[in-house]
């Protein structure tokens, strides 16, 4: 039998725009949702947009004033999973990014980069 060793890598890097202003949960958890652009040409050669939406969680509370709807951000972190049971008793799963690095890319503000782990 062949033994296969799979490396433990869980890194995600995306660029997108905030769908809404970031929210603060408790004193240390910042959450927001971003739209990641996916652009392709259809069979007729026309450009089509099909964005991917994903939630982001981080401990970078000092970024709250910069994380407003429409702000472009670079997010780096790990992919996480959340499971719960809805009101009808169905098991649900969602995925989010636990951000270790966020860089604000929007031109109207000075570029702000936060690196580190603030769990």
Contacts of 49 (CB under 8 A, 6+ apart): 37, 38, 39
Helix (H, G, I), strand (E, B) or coil at 62: helix
For residues 33, 96, 60 and 14, what is the CA-based torsion angle, rounded to 10 degrees? -70
Residue with the larger pLDDT of the pair 1 and 89: 89
Report the chain's mean pLDDT, rounded to a whole number: 90
Give, as one character, the DSSP assignment of residue 6: P
The arithmetic mean of pLDDT across residues 54-61, rounded, is: 96
Q: Which two tokens stand for residue 69?
A: 């709807």
> What pLDDT does residue 72 have?
96
The CATH code that applies to domain 12-115 is 2.40.50.140
> What pLDDT does residue 109 have?
45
Please write down the long-range contacts of 43-50, taking CB distance under 8 Å and 24 or more positions apart. none
pLDDT at 31 over 90: yes
CA distances, 119 to each of 5, 45, 69, 77, 100 (Å): 30, 46, 24, 13, 9
The arithmetic mean of pLDDT across residues 11-30, rounded, is: 95
> What pLDDT does residue 25 have?
93
Question: pTM for this one?
Answer: 0.80
Band of pLDDT at residue 52, cut at 50, 70 and 90? very high
């Amino acid at each position: 039998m062949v033994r296969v060793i799979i490396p433990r890598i869980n890194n995600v890097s995306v660029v997108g725009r905030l769908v809404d202003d970031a929210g603060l949960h408790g004193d240390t958890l910042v959450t927001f949702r971003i739209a990641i652009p996916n652009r392709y040409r259809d069979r007729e050669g026309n450009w089509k947009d099909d964005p991917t939406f994903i939630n982001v969680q981080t401990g970078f509370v000092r970024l709250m004033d910069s994380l407003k709807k429409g702000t472009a951000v670079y997010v780096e972190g790990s992919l996480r999973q959340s499971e719960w049971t809805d009101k009808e008793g169905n098991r649900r799963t969602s995925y989010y990014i636990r951000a270790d690095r966020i860089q604000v890319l929007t031109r109207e503000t000075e570029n702000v980069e936060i690196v580190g782990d603030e769990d």
